[in-house]
Every structure is written in C-alpha cells, then in structure tokens.
Amino acid sequence: MTKIRAAITGVGGYVPDTILSNKDLERLVDTNDEWIISRTGIRERRILKEPGKATSDMAVMAVRDLLSKRGLEPDDIDLLILCSVTPDMIFPASANLITHKLGTSKPWGFDLAAACSSFLYGLHVGAQFIQAGTHKRVVVVGSDKMSAIVDYTDRNTCILFGDGAGCVLLEPSEDDCGIMDAILRSDGAGAEFLRQKAGGSLNPPSHETIDAREHFVYQEGKTVFKFATTNMADVSRRIMDRNNLSAEDVQWLVPHQANKRIIDYTAEIMGLPEEKVLMNIERYGNTTSATLPLLLWDYEKQLRKGDNLILATFGGGFTWGSMYVRWSYNS
C-alpha cells in the first residue's frame, strides 16, 4: 500500500491592529528600546485590545483568511485543532467556539496545549488523521492572546509577548511533498522555570493567588534561554542528519520566534546563512502558538513547491521539537 502523506495546502493569519512598541513599554517599566532590540530582536508586538475579544476571535479571522484563499467553506473542514495556552476558558474547548463562530457544526475539534511548541505538536497530531485516511481536510490553528496573561509590571516578560493567530490546512499529498519527518520532545523538569503557576487544579484562583500575581507568565530567563538554545538547535540538526539533508538542501528554517539570539544559534548549528532563516520577531514578538504559522503566512509567496523547510520550536514545560516539511504549492 502507498503511504498517505499529509501536506500543507494553504495558510492563513491574523494580527490585531494595535501596536505596542518598545517606546510604549519604556513608559510602563524600567527598560529601553535599544536594550530590548539587542537582547531579543523585538521592536514591537500586536495586542488584542477590543473588549470581549479573545483567542478564538483571532483564530476565526485566520481561518477565514485561509478558507477565502482556498475557495472553501467552513463545512469543508473535517477537523479543527486549536493549539493555544490562552483558550477563551477552561471548557468548553475553544476549538468548538471557533467552529461555531465560523457558522458550522460539521467539523469536530479539540484544544492542544504544549506552550510555545503547541503548533508543532498540533501539526504532527493533525497529520496522523490524514495519514490514517480517516480525514481529508484538517485545519491546525495556533492562536494566543498572551496579553491576557502577561504582567505589564514585569520587565522580564512583558517585552517578549504579543497576540496573533495563524493556521494551516492539511490535506493528503498528491506527490512526494508534505510532512516528511518530526522529532518531538518534552521534559517536565523544566516546569518550574517557565509556567503560569495558578489557575489550574493545583492552585485554583483565590485572593492569595491573585495578590501574588500567580496568574501571569513566570519565566526564569537565564535557564530557559540556555535550555532553549541548546535543544532547539540540537533537534534541528538531528532531523537534518536523520533525513540526509545538508545545509544546501534546506531552503528555509522556520524557527519559533522567542529570541533572535536563539534563532541565530540554531541557524549556525544547522550551517544555514541568515538569508535562509524566516523571521518576523521584530514586528510581532513571541506570539507563542502562533509564531510558526504566522511565519508561513508572512512568507507564503516566497515558498516554492518542493522547498525543504525545517520547522523548529521550544516551549515551557519544557517542550521542543523539529519537523521536516517539503512544501507542496506555489502561491
């Protein structure tokens, strides 16, 4: 039997209109534009400020963009996976809210959370439904409203994160393109260094947790930076070696947009020049689950059928991974 392979056949994206620049942050915390740029590569990030709008609303905009470009309707979707650490609420799943807002009850769906690695995990999971032959069209969405859980009095974290959403459509490949291989990893020993301490069953919301500001992102920067740099680069190099890919064979590195120095180190270990590295961190910051699909959305017109892409990510928990994708279309 011929193996069915999942291919990315379309992308969509959305970022809010409101821009939070480094200069704006200078008025909130003790920091400055030069320091932020030199340490992270971020100049500005987008913030969803409209009252009553949440992660699902950004996801809906991204999916509508995708469907419009592909000439599809919401009922054409078989499954929708939302990758996010900021769902609208603990339950019901925000994937269900997204399909409802799209005006359909045909697709089933669920949420997947793996910090900044959520989208890559979700892409791998979505591909299994295509490969099994049980689903023809799977939409994988990465959407996060990080501004809802960022402490804008904490200069260590508020400079990093922004809001946004991106998505891809997975369909059975009609040729030798598609998702070729993936290496995914996790290590729960990293939970204490990058987490949202309260809000779950261990530390439910209380006056004490709110007063202690435990519902915001906490990050121990030096430890996270060191672990992310080493492991994202290592797994990206490994997937190249496992698939006999040289630096010349790889057209694009699609890395998680957490810190430009981490991205630069990963490219260096892979032997890739800067012109092969996709980056939009300077405009969006770290949008967590949305970084990888937003890169594909931003650079879609530069991607050519048959291009070899290496997707790489790292997230809290710790989670990390890399994926080898052979691009399936010209836009």
Q: Phi/psi zone of residue 193: left (φ > 0), alpha (ψ -120 to 50 degrees), beta?
A: alpha
Residue 117 clears pLDDT 70, i.e. is over it: yes
| Stretch 152-172: mean pLDDT | 96
Residue 8 makes CB contacts below 8 A (sequence gap 6+) with: 168, 169, 170, 178, 179, 296, 325, 327, 328
Residue 256 designated active-site:
yes
Residue 277 clears pLDDT 60, i.e. is over it: yes
Q: Which CATH number fits domain 179-326: 1.20.1250.20, 2.130.10.10, 3.40.47.10, 3.40.710.10?
A: 3.40.47.10
Backbone angles phi, psi at 320, to 5 degrees: -160, 165
Residue 286 designated active-site:
yes
Q: In terms of DSSP bridges, do strands 44-47 and 308-315 run parallel, antiparallel, or are they unpaired?
A: unpaired
Determine the pLDDT at residue 300. 98
Domain ranges in the chain are 6-176, 179-326
| Stretch 269-285: mean pLDDT | 98
Determine the pLDDT at residue 41. 97
- How does residue 174 score in pLDDT terms, banded at 50, 70 and 90? confident
**Which of 96, 167, 256, 259 is the catalytic position?**
256
CATH number given to 6-176: 3.40.47.10
DSSP-based three-state secondary structure for 238: helix
Residue 221 clears pLDDT 90, i.e. is over it: no
**What percentage of the chain carries pLDDT values higher than 90?**
94
**Which of 22, 83, 116, 135 is the catalytic position?**
116
The residue type of 48 is L
Residue 215 designated active-site:
no
| Stretch 46-66: mean pLDDT | 98
Nearest one of 278, 310, 308 to 296, comparing CA atoms = 278
Residue 2 clears pLDDT 80, i.e. is over it: no
Q: Does pTM surpass 0.95?
A: yes
Residue 21 clears pLDDT 80, i.e. is over it: yes
Residue 244 clears pLDDT 70, i.e. is over it: yes
Q: Half-sphere exposure (CA, 13 Å, Cβ side) for 62?
A: 35
Determine the pLDDT at residue 1. 54
Any idea which of 10-19, 90-99, 187-196, 312-321 has the lowest mean pLDDT? 187-196
Residue 131 clears pLDDT 60, i.e. is over it: yes
Q: How many residues does the chain have?
A: 331
- Average pLDDT score, the chain: 96
Tell me if domain 6-176 and domain 179-326 are identical in fold.
yes
For 255-265, the pLDDT digits (tens) are 999 999 999 99
